[in-house]
Amino acid sequence: MLSFYTAATPNGYKVAIALEELALDYEVHPINLGAREQKQDSFLALNPNGRIPVIVDHANDDFVVFESGAILYYLAERSGQLLSQDPKKRSETLQWLMFQVGGLGPMQGQANVFHRYTEERIPYAIDRYQRETRRLYKVLEARLQDRAFLVDDYSIADIAAFPWVEAHAWSGVSIDGLTKLADWLERIATRPAVQRGIAIPEPRDRGGEAAVTEAVTYARKMLV
């Protein structure tokens, strides 16, 4: 049994999708980011950085893993799935995982901050991070020219990148003209485990004005 501490963010969805794909036994503990539950002592005891997601593996002496990329790697190792045993493909998968963790996530995260969350509009910052996110999308587009997934077989690399690219409209970044990337998005989005994963910890409603207002309010609190 795993305990899964999460919230409705791309990094949370990454782990939720992996848990569903691997059909692991887990219990969800929703973290209310707006109420800053991630900064409470009980949560900081699990992750000193005060960020979701976190898992606790009760079958392994209550071993705690934080950082979404590290969790994906741990789950793949634990299960023997979603990460090739071939040394070269394994390395490629980890390279693309790091691409998301070190590049796509931080850059698109900043695009979100300046496009959606800051009260002061800073055109330079908005343009900088949206352009860089779009550039990273083009890197993915080039990689997908001759393959269905980032490293031939569906893997933790795809799971890591998908929730971020899937949220491109929220970040104000277009995928127009990136046909291979769009096909990849659709290919992954149709997977039943992915559909279940992006409904954890609760179903999303990005379309309603109330949902957008709530998300922006939460995010501004987190910037303080």
Task: Tell me phi and psi for residue 63, to 5 degrees.
Answer: -70, 130
- In the predicted structure, residue 108 carries a pLDDT above the cut 60: yes
pLDDT at 202: 79
In the numeric block, the tokens 């080039």 are attached to: 142
The pLDDT tens digits of the residues spanning 126-170 come to 999 999 999 999 999 999 999 999 999 999 999 999 999 999 999
The pLDDT tens digits of the residues spanning 22-49 come to 999 999 999 999 999 999 999 999 999 9
- In the predicted structure, residue 223 carries a pLDDT above the cut 90: no
- pTM for this model (two decimals): 0.91
Decide which of 1.20.1050.10, 3.40.50.970, 1.10.3720.10, 3.40.250.10 is the CATH code for 87-189: 1.20.1050.10
Decide which of 2.170.120.12, 3.10.580.10, 3.30.930.10, 3.40.30.10 is the CATH code for 2-81+196-207: 3.40.30.10
Q: Which of 107-111, 129-133, 159-163, 219-223 has the lowest mean pLDDT?
A: 219-223
Give yes or no for a contact between 11 and 65, defined as CB atoms under 8 angstroms apart: no
Does an H or E element contain 4, and which? strand 2-6
pLDDT at 203: 62
